[in-house]
A and B are shown apart, each in its own frame.
Chain A
Amino acid sequence: MTADLTLQLKRAAISTFEQLGFMLADEEVSEEQAEASITGSSRVRFRGPHSGALEVEIAGDFLKELANNMLGVDGDPPREVILDALGEVTNVICGNVLPSLSGPNAVFDLSAPEPSMDPLPPNANSSGNVARASVGLDGGRAEITLRLYG
């Protein structure tokens, strides 16, 4: 995979966190952000001219803030709402990156997001063909990985 694809991952992530989550996202990850522990993850699988998965791992304590920002509320959102927000962020990043793989006319089918409060489980289907990007967020970061199968 190319450096261009990594750049597209970063751009899609920044745009999604800023416009959907109303959170300021940094292209670079600071030392403090890099030390944050994983607090959630999500995966969206896709099929089309290429098959694979877009994965997002969140490090840092801002998942509640993300959910609250998306809902326009303050408070302590339930776990299911936090997971829904994280899944939707993953879905949007995935949809915005896929044209970089096969051009603007390619048709992909996306599966429902698989969000979790745990780190991502190992991906048995991965062929090792991977692009990765990280963005800084609040006191943590988001790590975005695009995997191609087969």
Chain B
Amino acid sequence: MAFNVLVVDDSSVMRTMVIRTLKMSGLPLGQIHQAGNGVQALEVLGENWVDLALVDINMPVMNGEELIDRVRDNPEYRDLAIIVVSTESSETRIEKVRRQGARFVHKPFTPEKLREQVVAVTGVSNDSGFDVAVEAGGDFDF
């Protein structure tokens, strides 16, 4: 099974870096979608099945916090697995993101750090393919 991924960041260079790291992570990737802000991300989610979203916080038009709020309020994709990848350093904001059911990776990130969170949220690793957590019905229903 391949995972459809959405990468949301207003920097195209950062989106490319995240996608490159995902490709190194061992996650079997299906469609890779990109969005430059929260509004574009919601459009992608409305038209495509996405398994995992990697989301920046500080973005124009609609920021990552509001995007996650909108996602969690929508029954169509409220269980979407989300990893926030951001330069955000405020413990207050990071805690809010975690309460919204998202994981957090701080920029600048090493490929290992991002891969660690991807493995945690999907249950897929380089070595073993699907992990027990997902097969046993973990938090997210892919």
Category for how many chain A residues contact B: 20 to 34
Identity of the chain A residue whose Cβ is nearest the Cβ of B110 in the assembled complex: A19
B128 proximity list for chain A (CB < 8 A)? none
- Interface: A16 (CB within 8 A): yes
Stretch of A29-37, A102-110, A124-132, A134-142 on the interface side: A102-110
Q: Which of B12, B14, B87, B91 has the most CB of A within 10 A?
A: B87
Identity of the chain A residue whose Cβ is nearest the Cβ of B86 in the assembled complex: A95
Which residue from B58, B92, B108 sits with its C-beta under 8 Å from A16?
Answer: B108
Which residue from B12, B17, B58, B90 sits with its C-beta under 8 Å from A91?
Answer: B58
B contacts with A: majority SS? loop
- Interface: B89 (CB within 8 A): yes
B91 proximity list for chain A (CB < 8 A)? 104-105
Contact with A along B55-94 (1 / 0, CB 8 A): 0001010000000000000000000000000111111110
Which residue from A72, A87, A95 sits with its C-beta under 8 Å from B89?
Answer: A95
**A88-B89 CB under 8 A given contacts A16-B108, A20-B108, A95-B107:** no
**A70-B108 CB under 8 A given contacts A91-B87, A95-B88:** no
The answer to whether A20 touches B107, judged by C-beta atoms less than 8 angstroms apart, is: yes
A5 to B62 Cα, complex, angstroms: 31
Q: Which of B16, B58, B91, B93 has the most CB of A within 10 A?
A: B58
- Interface: B109 (CB within 8 A): yes
Which residue from B12, B14, B87 sits with its C-beta under 8 Å from A95?
Answer: B87
Which residue from B12, B16, B60, B87 sits with its C-beta under 8 Å from A92?
Answer: B87
**Which residues of A does B touch, CB under 8 Å?**
15-16, 18-20, 67, 70-72, 81, 84-85, 87-88, 91-92, 94-96, 98-99, 104-110, 112
Q: List 14 interface pairs A-B (beta carbons < 8 Å), by A numbering.
A: A19-B109, A72-B17, A88-B11, A88-B13, A91-B11, A94-B87, A95-B107, A96-B87, A98-B89, A105-B92, A106-B90, A107-B90, A107-B92, A110-B87
